[in-house]
Every structure is written in structure tokens, then in C-alpha cells.
A and B are shown apart, each in its own frame.
Chain A
């Protein structure tokens, strides 16, 4: 069984690490997606999974970031959303 859920959003990538969220019964990510986003997460066998295919998820995720922040504040910090900004790291390095 896969150890993480990964899917692309329009400009980024969402990763939920099952190794970290195992045992969590708060499901803050699913609640947040339902309340702030478009409800593309649900619980299956105790884990958050997509309610739609990966392609559809890319279009439906509104990048509200609520799943990551709510998990960070109230659960296991298992959600990570990468939102690249091309060129910024090079700029900061001078």
C-alpha cells in the first residue's frame, strides 16, 4: 500500500504522508477541504484519499492551503503543499 497520497494542484503539489498521519483520528485535512475547499478528500480505511481522480483533482483543488495549515495546527503535520516560485531561491542567494 502506498505510503503517501500525492496529487498536483494547478500550480503546486500536495503530499499527505501516511507514515506521519497514521493513527490520527482528527481528519483535519478532510474537514478543512470540505469547509474551505472543494471537498476532494474523504476518509477511506482510516486515511485521507481523493474523492476524484488525480486529473480532476488538479482542476478542483483551489489551493486554499487549509488542509496543510489545519493539519499543522491541530494534528500530525502530515500535509505538505509545495508551491514553487521559480527563481526565488537563486535571488535570495544573491
Chain B
């Protein structure tokens, strides 16, 4: 899921006719002050980070004057909120809240449903899961027929079923339909307005929103400016963006890459798995062995050798890296020589002067014997610590991790790296 920031989501809601607070995005305290002056009233300054719980974490501040707005922005820009660096803030009118509601659309991919579900709740401002457990009677749901869409009458049924004031049924129903339109138009995997607030002057406004776009559909909406169409808890690093460019327009197999420790404090192992589930098995084993993984990468789904090559090159380009593990903890159906050729080219280019550098390769599946022969022949003259394993070790991830750990420790002794 590619997440949108709150300010991006609100722009889409606004275009769909969903009322949002007056406001704009700011990168600097000066910009924030100007926006506050335009609003002519109390403001709220909201850090634009992919995290919930921003208020408690200090990522949302209130200001009564443009001076205070400028000061709040100065405090937020450059700070960290729940581990995310704040690069921009959303400056909005402060809402005088009377009541909070929740509206959401998610994809239910269960076998029984396989369709969008629209939800409305009289309990806003809290997780819908929490409401679902504690007050299930305060949530209404409707499974939407994707071909028929969501009608205004469906939305009225959802809202009126919870006995909200009669005067709110129409505005809330319009908002439910508007949110669903955004969800469909942008191929979202989820779209939530939480809270949807009733103000004391009688307006119904989307105070916050979270919208995630389906990874496979991001290319259809360049106007959203999504840099890396991958599910992530944090913004992409520079290397993540470089890796995504490899994958963006090349649909031959899959290449996934994410840096886990861009700062590289204390070194660690570069990890390149084969096959989603098998890759995770190997990553877990490395962690159990006490090793630090600096990235998670995966080439699967019949990738070309060129894609494997680029994955290995990018993985090995991380500064301070102390080892490289190819974790093919699955018996793959594709001819594995494509991985072999990609690896031989990449490792020869990157490791010809890395004396003693630890490399462990686990690869199993179709044409395995030829694959291992290509790897052995292609890498035998490199000055590295190399171990290659086939199908006999595909289910021995802990053993492989221990071998990796031993090689890394030997390497660190050689180069004098402190633990």
C-alpha cells in the first residue's frame, strides 16, 4: 500500500466535494504564518508524517495567533514525531468540535466477501477495531457491489441506522458517498475519515484522513506524486528510490528493496532473499542469530538476471556492510541460473577487492546443479569468504544464519571492526 499524507488525502476529498477544514501545507514557519493570517482565526499545526497518535506524540499543536502558528511550525519542522522526521506541516483552521464520527472504506479480501466494505460509526477519533470490539452496535457496514457502486440511499441507510440527528443524515451520507468515490477513483486499498466532526456551528467536516493506494495501481495516478509504490512504515530512503526505479517499469519478475537501517550504525548484513515467504524465513533466522539486517530485498516471480544483478549491486552498495546473504529458502520453479548469472556479474564487480568479505548463497530449485556450478566457477577467483548451499539446506535457515554470523565475526576480526 502506498500511503498518502493527510494533506494529499484532503485534497482528493475536497475535489470529491467532501468538506475539509480551511488550510494549506507549509514547509517553513513563514509560510505557516501567512496561512494563519489568511485563515483569520485560531489554527492547528499538524506534522505530516505517516503515523497515528500524533497529538499525544507532540506532532499536533494549537495556535491562537499567527505568531503562535509560526512558532509551532518552527518547533515541528525538523523534529521527529514517532520516529518520523517532520519536513512539512498542514496548517488548518481550528475546529470547535461538538461530536466525532468515523467513515471508512476498506477492501475485504476474505474468500466470503472479496469486495469493498463501507463503514460508519458514531465513535470517531478512536481505532475502528477498538470500537468494533467494545461497541459493535455503534458501527454499520455495507458490502459494496463493485459494479453498482455505492448509492446515496445506501449511505443514508448506513448513517440513519445509528440514530444520528435527522439533520445530519444528508450531509454525512454525502460524505460517505464522496469518500467511496475517492476510494474507487484512485484504486485505494483503504480510505478513512477519522474523525469526521460535527462542529458547534453545525458543519460536518473531515478533520483527518488516511488513504492508501494499491501498489499495482500507483502508476495510473502520477498526479499523486507517490515516489515508491511499496508498503512501508517510513518514507523511502535515497537508496529505496534508486531501487524502485529499477522495478517501476520492468515487470519481468519482482524486485523488492527496503533499507532498514539507513544510518548503518554498527554495521550489518545485506540481505537478498528469493521468494516472499522464503525471504522472510531467512531474515528471521539472521535476527535470531543476533545479526543486524541493513536491508530487506527480494527477487522472485521469475526475475531476469539483470534484475537480480541490480538487486545485488544495490544491496552491496550500502556503506559499512559486513556480509551478504542470498536467502533462497524455497525450492523455486524458475531456472535458478538467472539468479546465478546476475549474482556472478554483480559480485565480481563489487567484491573483487573486498578481501575476506562474507558471502553466503542459498539457492535451490530448477537447474540447481548447473546454477551452483555457475556460481562456483564464476566466483572462485574472488578473494571473499564464500559458502554456497543448495536444496539440502533450504530448510536449515538457523544453520545458515549461524554460518553467516561466524563468517562476519571472522571478517570483523580481519578488518578490526569493533562490535
Would you give the 0/1 interface string for B295-325, flagging 1 where the beta carbon is closer than 8 Å to chain A? 0000000001110011001100101000000
Whether B242 contacts A68 by the Cβ 8 Å rule is no
Whether A87 contacts B250 by the Cβ 8 Å rule is no
Whether A63 contacts B304 by the Cβ 8 Å rule is yes
Point out the residue from A9, A64, A85 that lies within 8 Å of B242, measured CB to CB.
A85
Distance of A14 from chain B, by nearest CB (Å) = 11
Q: Which residues of A contact B242 (CB under 8 A)?
A: 85-88, 91
Whether A66 contacts B341 by the Cβ 8 Å rule is yes
A88 to B317, CA, bound (A): 8
Q: How many residues of B contact A (CB 8 A)?
A: 27
Q: Which residues of A contact B314 (CB under 8 A)?
A: 85, 88
Whether A85 contacts B246 by the Cβ 8 Å rule is yes
B21 contacts the other chain (Cβ, under 8 Å)?
no
Whether B304 contacts A73 by the Cβ 8 Å rule is no
Given A85-B246, A91-B317, A36 and B337 touching (CB < 8 A)?
yes
Nearest-neighbor residue (CB-CB) of A10 within chain B? B250
Q: Which residues of B contact A36 (CB under 8 A)?
A: 337, 341
Distance of B229 from chain A, by nearest CB (Å) = 17
Given A36-B337, A36-B341, A86-B245, A65 and B309 touching (CB < 8 A)?
yes
Given A69-B344, A69-B345, A62 and B313 touching (CB < 8 A)?
no
Whether B338 contacts A64 by the Cβ 8 Å rule is yes
Within 8 A of B (CB), among A8-26: 9-12
Q: Which residues of B contact A69 (CB under 8 A)?
A: 341, 344-345, 374, 378
A-B contacts, 6 listed (Cβ < 8 Å): A9-B306, A36-B337, A64-B305, A64-B341, A65-B309, A87-B241
B-side interface residues toward A, CB under 8 Å? 238-239, 241-242, 245-246, 250, 252, 304-306, 309-310, 313-314, 317, 319, 337-338, 341-342, 344-345, 348, 374, 377-378
A-side interface residues toward B, CB under 8 Å? 9-12, 36, 62-66, 68-69, 72-73, 81, 83, 85-88, 91-92, 94
